[in-house]
Structures are given as C-alpha cells and as structure tokens.
Amino acid sequence: MSQLELSNLFSVDREGKPTIKIVLFGPPMSGKTSMLTVFNALRRMENPKTIVSALTKIQDDSGRTVFFDQGVFQTPPFKGNNFDRLRYQLWTVPGEERHKVQRDIVMKGVDAVLLFLNFEKTAEEQNKAIIKEAKEIVGENFGSSIPVVAYINKSDLPAEERLDKRDIIQNLLDEGAIHSDKAANLVLTGSCLNARNELLSILTSPKRDEHFDDSSRLRIDKRPDSVWLIVKPIQKLTQLAVEQRLEYVQSI
C-alpha cells in the first residue's frame, strides 16, 4: 500500500497529473469569488512549487462569476503514504436560480463538495436551499463517498447580524451532509474579507521583508490566521477524499 500513487486514486488530466475536482457550492453573494481571489493571491505570493496552475475566471453577461479553475497546495502525507502533488480544480458557479442547469453540469464528476454558506441573517433560506440542492444533485453519495465540508463565510459580522451556527449545523445534519460526531471538524467559519485585507496589509507593511524568504516568497509560517481559516476547508476535503479512496482500495 505504501507504493500507491495518487493516480491510482484520482483521475488524471491531459498532462498525466492526478486531479481532484472540488466544487464551491453556495448561494449568491456569499463570498465564493472572494475566497478564490485569496487563493490566487497566495499563488502569486508563495512558493510556486507548492501551488500549481493559475486562476481562470469566466463571467456571464451580468458580470457574475461562472467558473473558476485553480490549482492549490501540495498534498500532505496520509496514513503513512507520501504522495506527490495533487492538482486541484476548484469550480464554482453563481448561486442564482437561473444558473441551476450550470450547477448540475459543473457537479458532474465532483470528488468533494465545499458548501460555501453565508453567515448573514438575510441568507438563511438561501443557505437551506443550496444545501438541499447539492444533496439532490449528488444523490446518495452526498457526505459519504463524496465528502462534504461546510464553510460559513462572513464571521467578521457583528453577532447580532449573524445566523446561529447551531441552526446551520442542524440543517446540515438534517440533509445528511455531515454527521453529529464530526460537526466540529466539518463545519468551519472565517472571513474572506479579513483574509484579503490581511494579505494586502502584508504587502504594504513597513516590515514587509519579515514575511518573505530570500526568494521573495511569503513564508508559510507567516500566513495570517484569517488565511489559514480559508485554506483549512480545502485541506480537510483533500484529507477526506484521499482517506476515503485509500479505504476503498484496501477493501478490494
């Protein structure tokens, strides 16, 4: 089992690179574009050997984001298996109702789902609808062989303007996206706005050089906490997808 390669677990692209497809599935105006903008900033600021590919953005005629495809992060070891880099495809489409057909298409061949939810009280029904729709599209594999992690954006809002996290978790439990014993690890929160602003502050700081190595690349240990909170759900989804596939291979 130690000789397993990621190409044994995931499909490969035209260059022969093992690829994981993650879809950011969320309501409109929840911050999906902002999250991927932060990833693109990391790609430019950090070591290119650990971050592959580039950000591609396509918009519809209203200016709403239709598609992203971006490679991010080097794959960590799992259960004693040391793997090479895994290429990432991060997809998203607008959450508006008129784009439902596009969402159906984008979800085909998905390896993992990031439910990108909104902490704003006004988004409660949109959050519920998007979780339900994701389950309907993925089917019986939702939250099992197709792992699901929820990220609730806009945690920087005042408490009185935020939804109760417990209510969001209950809705995720009701739809089978997560199980109660794993809720703490599978429902994450953060602020894409804070992450973007903190990265900008590093670039404009008088102490900028303290954050970069000799190659002018942002040091991993100097990532702001707000950025780690955005990176964490993607890392968690990778871990779940790899572990699930390892278990499947070991069982046959």
Residue 155: per-residue pLDDT: 96
Kindly report the number of other CB atoms within 10 A of residue 119's CB atom.
24
Reported pTM: 0.83
For residues 10-34, average pLDDT: 85
Closest CA to 227 of 246, 205, 207, 200: 200
Could you read off the pLDDT of 117-157 as tens digits, one per residue? Answer: 999 999 999 999 999 999 999 999 999 899 999 999 999 99
Could you read off the pLDDT of 59-69 as tens digits, one per residue? Answer: 445 554 444 44
What token pair was written down for 27? Answer: 């309501």
Confidence of residue 72 (pLDDT cuts 50, 70, 90): very low
pLDDT at 26 over 60: yes
* Residue entry with tokens 């939804």: 163
Q: How far apart are CA 19 and CA 224, in angstroms?
A: 27
For residues 216-234, average pLDDT: 89
In the chain, what is the straight-line distance between the N-terminal and C-terminal CA atoms, in Å? 12
142 and 135 in contact (C-beta within 8 Å)?
yes
Residue 49: per-residue pLDDT: 45
64 and 96 in contact (C-beta within 8 Å)?
yes
In order of 76, 108, 126, 142, 220, the CA distances from 245 in angstroms are: 15, 18, 32, 15, 28
Confidence of residue 9 (pLDDT cuts 50, 70, 90): confident
Which residue would you say has higher pLDDT here, 220 or 176?
Answer: 176
pLDDT at 238 over 50: yes
Q: How many residues does the chain have?
A: 252
Q: How far apart are CA 208 and CA 251, in angstroms?
A: 50
Residue 62: per-residue pLDDT: 53
Amino acid identity of residue 78, one-letter, is F
Q: Which fold has domain 6-251?
A: Rossmann fold (3.40.50)
DSSP 98-135: GGHHHHHHHTTT-SEEEEEEE-BGGGHHHHHHHHHHHH
